[in-house]
């Protein structure tokens, strides 16, 4: 009996002390739902006008506890809620995979012109691919979530890719992060992956040409 009381007290203690963390994660989850809905709405409207869906898929994810910890350590920051909120901008992540590169720019324009979306940062790795060949358009935005008694602005990272860019990035991640590869093998892989990135870019351009009939 005495033991059970102790277990209850411990459970209460854990729940109480982790409440601010769980609350913050709930806010990020709500922000993800808001952003996902915005893209679903844009997809519907686009398909009404153009008779096709620009969005192939939307994935959302919350950064795992271990990734949060690793990133804070990398930045030499202690594990505190303000440190997470003020320094990690990809706790809530959305990936929007589009059919064509052109669709990405239309979606980004429509999304950023909404008056409850604040742009914090934009990285266009489509115009300026990374050295390894990575292409995608990244936004960090802030959007409001409406709670019972307040409005809170929450940061969300949105990555836009075509199917070909997503294909390359997914496989590159799987291949590149394999353990126990020699330096020579890694250099070889990097070279081959860069070639594949070029092929994906050509594919995107070709598909766009076929669509527009040029």
Give contact residues for Mg ion (rule: CB under 5 A): 90
Considering only residues 52-91, where is the footprint of ligand GTP by CB under 6 A?
Answer: 90
Closer CB to ligand GTP, 8 or 192, in the complex: 192
Distance, CA of 182 to CA of 204 (rounded, Å): 33
x-or-dash pattern for ligand GTP, window 108-127, by CB under 6 A?
---------------x----
Distance CA 163, CA 99 (A): 6
For residue 169, the minimal CB distance to Mg ion (Å) is: 14
Specify whether the CB–CB gap between 71 and 133 falls below 8 A: no
The answer to whether residue 157 is catalytic is: yes
If the CB atoms of residues 55 and 156 are measured against Mg ion, the closer one turns out to be 156
* 190 is an interface residue for ligand GTP by CB under 6 A: no
Q: How many residues bind ligand GTP (CB under 6 A)?
A: 9
For ligand GTP, the closer CB: 100 or 168: 168
Extract the tokens encoding 32.
């993800």
Element spanning 62, H or E: strand 55-62
C-alpha 140/C-alpha 115 separation (Å) is 15
Which strand (E) or helix (H) includes residue 193? helix 183-212
Q: Which among 142, 157, 192, 195 is annotated as catalytic?
A: 157
Q: Give the one entry of ligand GTP, Mg ion, none that residue 130 binds, where binding means its C-beta sits below a cut-off of 5 to 8 angstroms depending on kind.
A: ligand GTP
| β-bridge pairing 92-98 and 118-124 | unpaired
CA pair distance 63, 46, nearest whole angstrom: 30
- Among 26, 18, 21, 41, residue whose Cα is nearest residue 145: 26
Binding partner of 96, given ligand GTP, Mg ion, none, CB within 5-8 angstroms per partner class: none
Rule CB under 6 A: say whether 160 interacts with ligand GTP: no
| Residues belonging to the active site | 157
| Contact set with ligand GTP (CB under 6 A) | 90, 123, 130, 132, 134, 138, 169, 172-173
């Amino acid at each position: 009996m005495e033991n059970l009381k102790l277990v209850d007290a411990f459970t209460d203690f854990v729940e109480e002390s982790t409440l601010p963390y769980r609350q913050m994660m709930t806010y990020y989850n709500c922000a993800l739902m808001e952003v996902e809905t915005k893209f679903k709405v844009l997809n519907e409207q686009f398909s009404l006008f153009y008779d096709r869906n620009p969005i192939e898929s939307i994935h959302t994810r919350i950064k795992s506890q271990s990734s949060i910890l690793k990133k804070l350590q990398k930045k030499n920051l202690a594990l505190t809620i303000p440190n997470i909120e003020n320094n990690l901008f990809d706790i809530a992540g959305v990936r929007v995979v589009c059919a064509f590169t052109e669709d990405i720019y239309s979606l980004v324009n429509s999304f950023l012109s909404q008056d409850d979306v604040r742009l914090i940062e934009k990285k266009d790795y489509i115009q300026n691919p990374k050295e390894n060949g990575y292409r995608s358009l990244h936004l960090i935005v802030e959007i409001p979530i409406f709670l019972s008694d307040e409005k809170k602005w929450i940061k969300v990272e949105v990555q836009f890719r075509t199917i070909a860019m997503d294909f390359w990035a997914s496989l590159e991640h799987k291949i590149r992060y394999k353990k126990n590869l020699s330096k020579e093998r890694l250099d070889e892989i990097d070279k081959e992956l860069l070639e594949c990135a070029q092929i994906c870019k050509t594919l995107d351009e070709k598909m766009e040409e076929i669509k527009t009939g040029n």
